[in-house]
Amino acid sequence: MPHAPASPVLRRATADDLRAITTTDGRGFGVHYSDTDIEDFRPLFDPDRYLLAQDPADGAKQDGPILGVTGSFPFEVTLPGGATLPAPGVTWVTVAVTHRRRGILRALMTEQHRGFVADGSAVSLLTASEGAIYGRFGYGITTQHRAVEITRRRATFRPGAPDPGGVREIDGNEARLLFPDIHRRWTALVPGALSRSEAWWDNHMLDRESRRGGGTALFHLVHADGYASYRIEHGERTCRVVELVSVTAEAHAALWRVLLALDLVETVAVWSHPLDDPLGYLLADPRQVRTTRLRDGMWARVLDVPAALSARRYRTEVDVVLDVHDPFLDLGGRFRLRGGPDGAECERVAAGGPSVAMDIAGLGPLLFGGERAATLARGGLLESDDPAALRGVDAAFLADRLPQHGTEF
């Protein structure tokens, strides 16, 4: 049996830990990271944002084996109404295969999230490798996305569908210059959308052969208000859309007109297609946008209820007391929210008002407007004796469009 520490020693990473972190993570995920992978990641690696778990028998020696890792990226995330909040995106979570189910993840998550609270973060985010892990830490599903496939020859545009034009083919250098501004304008519109730093853009555009899955290098299309990056898989005669971002309906239609006119391509495949994407309405047969997979995307956990709820806008006027239960961090309590389309305020209260009781894991999905309070109530994450209060929350928290995070991490 491997040695099992009763309670691991936690320490902050240093720049020298990157290789050991990637080794632990690679073993955890069954991946061998190359030297190039490690050096590509280095500009995104801020050691201060990484916590490592070690065996107390090693006395937290820098060179002792790493038993567990968690880190975070510093994102800004958009809320319904357009305000943004700084939000750590939890990442690189792994526990050594020899030391699982002994509380190492719980120890790391507890320390890391206490740090987020101390730093004043109102919300934290992650994408989950498995769905059963993070609900206990107060996270709930905030974005969903679907993979779609389109048989190109059958996907004709309906008569009268817009054909705005204005798309150019560009190379990777021009894409690196033009895409960040378009992406920034897109993040301002979409709840849940994540900011990208310059270092993130550099990494995103590297397009290493090892990450192409047998496809070509990226091709890029740009419009004044949108862009698309794709690769061709010749054996499958497939165009794989890696990213399509549109700030306007015109850009969306113009980019899809080009993608669906790619002769020699049988299938256009999109890995992450928004649930409320309007492409089907442009086609003579909307069913040609075939969903092949539906997945949860980003999960969110509220860390500061008043700060998070007062930063967003609400679809209808709402005045309600939320009674939030937070067994993991004990940051719950009763909060009065008064909000509407023009602004909101939220404060901790002792009692009073129509109240809705909820688990903290339901608050992330509500905050970004992608889940109905009525659905959470049917799922047992939220309840109220006052049907009018529940209807009020249900109507007020919906966003104008479904949340998307847009950046995998």
- Known binding site: residues? 93-95, 101-106, 129-130
**Closer by beta carbon to ligand ACO, 18 or else 133:** 133
135 binds ligand ACO (CB under 6 A): no
CA distance 142 to 79: 11
Q: What element of type H or E holds 216?
A: none
d(CA 261, CA 255): 10
The stretch among 103-111, 113-121, 224-232, 366-374 that binds ligand ACO (CB under 6 A) is 103-111
Is residue 3 near ligand ACO by the rule CB under 6 A?
no
103 in contact with ligand ACO (CB under 6 A): yes
Q: Take residue 122 and report the two structure tokens written for it.
A: 């109102």
Choose, by CB under 6 A, the member of 51, 52, 104, 389 that binds ligand ACO.
104
Q: How far is CA 240 from CA 31, 153, 202, 222, in A?
A: 23, 16, 21, 16
**Is residue 348 at the binding interface for ligand ACO, with CB under 6 A as the rule?**
no
Return the residues of window 18-47 that contact ligand ACO according to CB under 6 A: 28-29
Choice between 4 and 258, CB closer to ligand ACO = 4
Q: Among residues 5 and 180, whose Cβ is nearest to ligand ACO?
A: 5
- Shortest distance, CB of residue 173 to ligand ACO, whole angstroms? 32
Nearer of residues 130 and 263 to ligand ACO, judged by Cβ:
130
Taking CB under 6 A as the criterion, the residue among 100, 290, 295, 315 binding ligand ACO is 100
According to the binding rule CB under 6 A, does residue 298 interact with ligand ACO?
Answer: no
Give the shortest CB-125-to-ligand ACO separation in angstroms: 9
Q: In the sheet where 318-325 sits, what is the strand order?
A: 343-348, 333-340, 318-325, 355-359, 382-383
CA distances to 72, 83, 214, 309 from 405, rounded to whole Å, are 16, 15, 26, 19
Q: Shortest distance, CB of residue 106 to ligand ACO, whole angstroms?
A: 4
Which residues are part of a known binding site for acetyl-CoA?
Answer: 93-95, 101-106, 129-130
Residue position matching structure tokens 């969110």: 300
Residues 78 and 60: their CA atoms lie apart, in Å, by 38
* Active site members: 134, 409
Binders of ligand ACO among residues 76 to 95 (CB under 6 A) are 90-95
How many residues form the binding site for ligand ACO (CB under 6 A)?
22
Three-state SS for 350-396 is: CCCCCEEEEEHHHHHHHHCCCCCHHHHHHCCCEECCCHHHHHHHHHH
The one-letter amino acid at 204: H
Determine the interface stretch with ligand ACO among 11-19, 102-110, 154-162, 214-222 (rule: CB under 6 A).
102-110
Choose the binding region for ligand ACO from 126-134, 169-177, 230-238, 343-351 (rule: CB under 6 A): 126-134
- Cα separation, 246 vs 200, whole angstroms: 19
Q: Which of 11, 49, 102, 183 binds ligand ACO (CB under 6 A)?
A: 102
C-alpha 342: how far from its chain's center? 26
Which residues are within 8 A (CB) of 145 and not within 5 positions of it... i.e. 6 or more apart?
272, 273, 274, 275, 294, 295, 297, 404
Q: What x-and-dash track marks residues 215-244 binding ligand ACO by CB under 6 A?
A: ------------------------------
CB 142 within 8 A of CB 365: yes
CB of 266 to ligand ACO, least distance (A): 35
Encoded amino acid at 53, one letter:
A
Contact 93, 325 (CB under 8 A): no
Choices 37-45, 98-106, 144-152, 275-283 (CB under 6 A): range interacting with ligand ACO: 98-106
Per the CB < 8 A criterion, the answer to whether 91 and 34 are in contact is no
Which of the stretches 122-130, 182-190, 334-342, 384-392 binds ligand ACO when contact is defined by CB under 6 A? 122-130
Interacting residues with ligand ACO (CB under 6 A): 28-29, 90-95, 100-106, 126, 128-130, 132-133, 136
